[in-house]
Structure 1
Amino acid sequence: MKLMLGYITGLLLLVSISFADEFSYLEKNNNNWLQIYSNLLRAQALDDEIKSLEKTVQKAIGKNKLELTQLLKLQTSKKKILDELPQSFDSMLEKITIGDNLKEITLIEYLLNNQKNNYAIQTKKLAFVEEEYFEALKHLNAELKLASKREVKDTSKEYQLQMALDFFKSAQGLLDNKTAVLKHMQELYLHELKSYESTQLPRVILNIGVIIFIFMLFHLLKYFITKRIENEDKLFKIKKILNITFFLLLLLVIIIFNINNIIYAATLVGFIAAAITISMKEYLQSIVAWFHLSFGNFIKLGDRILIHVNKHPIIGEVIDISPFKVTLYESINNTTSVQLKRAGRIIFIPNNYFVSNYVYNYTHDKMKTIYDLIEFRIPFSVDAQKVEDIVQEIALEATERYMEVASKQFMSLKKRYDMRSRDFRPRIHLVPDAVEPCYILYIWYVTPYHQIMEFKSQLSQKVVNKFQEENIPFYIK
């Protein structure tokens, strides 16, 4: 068919080149078929004219060549504009999209009939195109009849109209083929729709019915449990268990109903698992973190830890590690005294927090002592060496018993990690202040984690009393 159309088109165009400027009688308002045919003739005529001009320009000289060159550019520009217009009947029929393959019929497709509606739309489009086609034929026949009745015969025009009619009649095969394909696909779709209605639809309705029954059953259970249980904590836990059971049972029912279609069941389970993962992301992360906390052995019950939440320090003893949260008892220490100004609260931290945040453990393994710090401001006029000796003597005497304890605890820690030996003697540093004309006296000392505030108080009093006895001026910023 396409070869035949190409042959007829080529023959017609060769004959009609001389009539390239007289195509008005081939056109009719708002008729795409005639407009496309006219575009095709004009494009071919311009092509031949451009080729002829190119040969003429090569032979021309002087002013004549310049004029011909300008004319060639003008005709080339016209051809570019014309090439943007449709010049093939195929381009018009391609807008009627049918599709080669049918989509799988699902419950949503059965209820909405999307493909059926699409076929109806395409059928209307095809009917409109077909109507335009017969209008074009009618117009060409009318023009040919008028041309043949004239006293002065225009044989070229009659021949061109006859060739146009032959071309259009041969193009009717395109319409017939498109109509046949659309009808075939529509019948195939209706057959698949009836097949789904008689085979798969009853099973889908049964599945939905069972799911609705389970849903109603669980809501009834929740209703009766809410009426009978008054303890809110117990009620909350039972509701949570019921929700988890509902989701698991629902997942099991869906798998059972789709067990015959393994791929569909696996895909469905994948979608459900993805939905559960997205909706319960934090809970799943907490459960994974719970395993990490339980078997990682970096935090255990009784440990004192420090974490930062929104840049605010939280410190306390671990009193419970559950699948979803770690519970802390806020203790009295330097942090709560200086920054928080309160203590004794119960703090709940989601387990997923411990996956991607820093945790400071005061009591890891058998290490139950930490370094604490006391600061004083000492004027430059004071004998720095004397101050250092006095503080060193006081701190050494006060922490001697804790130094031995810390050394023994450190040996246990050293067995687990690659660490150098340490001396837990007090560290005394006098550093010039960058702002004020004085020294900053840093007193680092080791102390049990649960006696930080008590020992700080005792050691501070001893240092202050000794400074007063020795008339050493000091102040605390």
Structure 2
Amino acid sequence: MIKRIAGTLLFTATLLLGAPAASAADAPVQKASKHQTAVSWNSAVDAYALRHVLQERLAQIDVALQNPEAAGKADALRRLERERERLKTELGRINAAAVAVVEYYVQPTGEQLSIHTDMYRRYESKAAELETLKSDLQIKQKSLNALLGTARDTAEVQQSLKVTTFALETLSRIQQRIAHLSDARLTRVNDLRKQESELKDELDKSNIWQKSYTAYLTYQDVKKDLAALQEQIDAIDRSDDADAKMEQRDALLAKQKIMSDQLSLLQSHSASPFADLLKPEEIEAAPEISNPIDIFAGVSYNKKVREQLNEYIKRGDELKRYLRLLLDERQLLMSLADVDSEEDYVKKIASLDSMTDKYQTAYSTLQDTADVYAKRVEEIELKINKAIEEQLFKLANIGGIILFLLIIFFIMKQIAKKYISDNERFYMANKVITFANVSLILLVLLFNYIENVSYVVTVLGFASAGIAIAMKDWFMSMLGWLVIVFGGSIHVGDRVRVDKDGKQYVGDVLDISLLRITILEDITLTTYMHNRRAGRVIFIPNNYIFTEMIANYTHVSLKTVWDGIDITVTFDSNHKKAQLIAKEITRKFAKGYTDITRNQLNKLRSRYNLKNTNVEPRIYAFAEENGIRISAWYLTNAYATLTLRSTISMEILDAYGKEEDITIAYPTQRLRLQNEPLPQPRSLPEEGEPV
């Protein structure tokens, strides 16, 4: 029985392995390892089938040893024991690595069956060998099936057929597993390549870091090409037929010039691919905050340096994002290298690692620079903010002082308004208070915002000559304003007359500013006789008080002026009667103004040396070419001279018209015959006689 079993095993081994079973048993045991050399599919399937046959036979022996009938036969038990020990020894000699290959596909665990394992990577490319091995086993199966039912049909043939059939089934299961894993691998490879394509599109988008690095690589390539080109030119120069190759040499020199120009354009990228990008923008000198206006410059400066810092940080964020994309690309290449054996990903990963190292170094440098840059910006902002706070505090103090001055002068104006009843005096007092207020405010600002006042005074002293010449009229107007205000020669509301270049302007003073006097031209005798215009606003520079004639009709308390009316009567008219009539009429209509003037002149005696204070109307008679001119002078309102003049003129004319011995003269001619007596002027009637 034992001999029969041994013969069966030997025959089966001969069919499967093509060599004696002892040869397979003598093979060294190999453990499955991802670093060992791949075993052929033929050896793997043979080892797996042999192990299956031996394990089946070992199971049969174990069953036989447990049979009670065999237990009573010592010789049979010893044979079975020896056979079992031999089978175990044979099983121990089978190539474990080869068996593991088949078990990986036939009986995989969840962790083993993966496209990422080295086992699959080594044997997927040898899947074509399975078809050849399968064909051989099918031929053997047909041969063994032909032996069945014949004289050669033995137990060994049946056992061999069983082993062959088991091997074919095993091959079919292996092919199914490989097909499944191949589909999974192709799907995985396609997904990874799609992700790689999308990632490359993202990397190829416009990026300043990529452009800078590309320029750096271009510089290195151009430099290498230029060196190679120089070697070619040197080789031509050293050759014996250099003259024959002059055309080629000229072409190389032209190309060398073009490449040299390209190299000079890329010179900034020669040392480092990111030298310009890693250097932050230079911070301009901080403005000096010395007055409130500089606060706006300080705020603008802070905003500008903060924007520069944010721009630099944004540049770092862009580099970080690009670096993350590079690391993602490396991870994709690693994944592709794990499942795809068609391309050499090692070189791609090495090139990508070299580029990534440069980007990582640049990012580290940028982070350090950004920290230093941020601290510098914070220091500058702190300094500017402190200066702004000081100016705001100083401005608040000055504002408080100015507010205090405004309140004081407001109170002074209210006091002046309460106790000064005269409008002109109140107006002048108001102007003086306003001027003093503005002057004090200017002095406060001057001493607060000019650090070295003595220096300013010195500069102004040196520049005073030029300023005096260039701004002579302004200075003279200011000086004239002081003379007018403090001298009291002209006040707001006064009626004045200004003579300039032969023209006369009469009007009321509306305002006296620092540079000019503003008057409103009224209808007066001057406008009636000369200008024929009125109602104009006339601006008189204050310096005219030194150079031009300015007459004041209402100086101090005087509100009246002398006005005169001239009426010519004929030579034969009663001129004495005419004077008397004119005097009575003027006395009648000017009486009120006469009394007012008398009181005003009495007040002026304390200020001026008045000698002639006669205020009564005055009548004068003058012999003229066409008759006797009666000139009547009287006091009238300085602001309404024409009104009273018109009234008195008409009254005198009416009175003269009623008199028979008074005739108004006008240009006439009279013929006198010879010996005709000359007309005698009429004398005034005696007292008591009718006129």
TM-score, length-scaled by structure 2: 0.33
Q: Tell me which structure has the larger Cα radius of gyration.
A: 2
Looking at both structures, which has the greater relative contact order when contacts are Cα pairs under 8 Å and sequence separation is at least 6? 1
